Structure formats: C-alpha cells, structure tokens
Structure 1
Amino acid sequence: MDRRSLVLELVRARVGELMGMTNKLDKIGTSLEKILRAQMELLSCMRKNKENIYALASEMGDIGVDHSRNLSFGWQPTN
C-alpha cells in the first residue's frame, strides 16, 4: 500500500469514527432531554403536592404540622 492510499484509509477511518461519535452524542442528547422532561414533571408534581399540603394544614389550623422536622424518608427541607 502506497503512502497516499494509507492516508486515504486513515482519513476514511477517522470520518467513520467521527460519525459514530456524532450519533452517540445525538442519542445522549435525546436521553438527556427525556430525563429533563421527567425531572420537570416530577418537580411540578412535588410543588403541587407541597401547595396542597400547606393548604390543608392552613385549613386545619396547622395542628400538628412541624415544617422544620425531617420527613419520614430522611429528606430535610433547605432554607
């Protein structure tokens, strides 16, 4: 194989690698978009639930509601 043929083969191989990387990045981007969408939906649900809990607590006169304590699964609200 002469030098020119070798260079052409190396360039073709590199172009193939770059196309493969581009496809992988596209798939990663699509996956990240799906994750972000799910995260935003979950955050929205959490906010709605929080609003409902505070509304219920307000209607009940905040009886027995301690907003400073940890929740049962260990999450602690940040201030």
Structure 2
Amino acid sequence: MTWQSVPTPSPAPGEVLVKVVAAGVNRADLLQAAGKYPPPPGASDIIGLEVSGVIAAVGDGVSQWSEGQPVCALLAGGGYAEYV
C-alpha cells in the first residue's frame, strides 16, 4: 500500500459524497492489499469496503440526505480514501 494524493470526487446526480471517519478492515481488504483478490470490474483501485463518516456534499436530486448527517456504507471499493 502507498499514500497517494487524488482529487476529491464530486457527487453525481442522485449521489452523496461521504467524508470517511472510519473504515473497516476485513479479510477481503487484506486479500486485496496482498494482490490476491481483485476488485470487481469498474470498482475503485483503492481498497476498502466498509466506511462510516458524514455527508460532505449532495448531488442534484438528493432530498432525503443533507450535509453533516452521519452515515455508514458498504462499497465495491474506495473506502480507504478520505472521501467516497
């Protein structure tokens, strides 16, 4: 694993952007880090499947969530990033 700077994503319409506060570490994460469990097609190259955090931004059309709300998420990848 390495630390890398990546651009902060923007939420697409119907999506939210989460500032990650905590990320789980599970067997799949460890296998991906070891190069023994590839992410699914189209998933982020950044590992991490489970996160909790707060909503940092909402995309167009999102009405049931707002900035600052605490959330948790199961992801296809990317949970070890600062934002997902």
TM-score band, normalised by the shorter chain?
A: under 0.3
Please identify which structure carries the higher helix content: 1
Q: Which has the higher strand share?
A: 2
Q: Between Structure 1 and Structure 2, whose CA radius of gyration is higher?
A: 1
Q: Name which structure has the greater RCO, CA cutoff 8 Å, separation 6+.
A: 2
TM-score in terms of structure 1 length: 0.20
Q: TM-score, with normalisation over the residues of structure 2?
A: 0.19
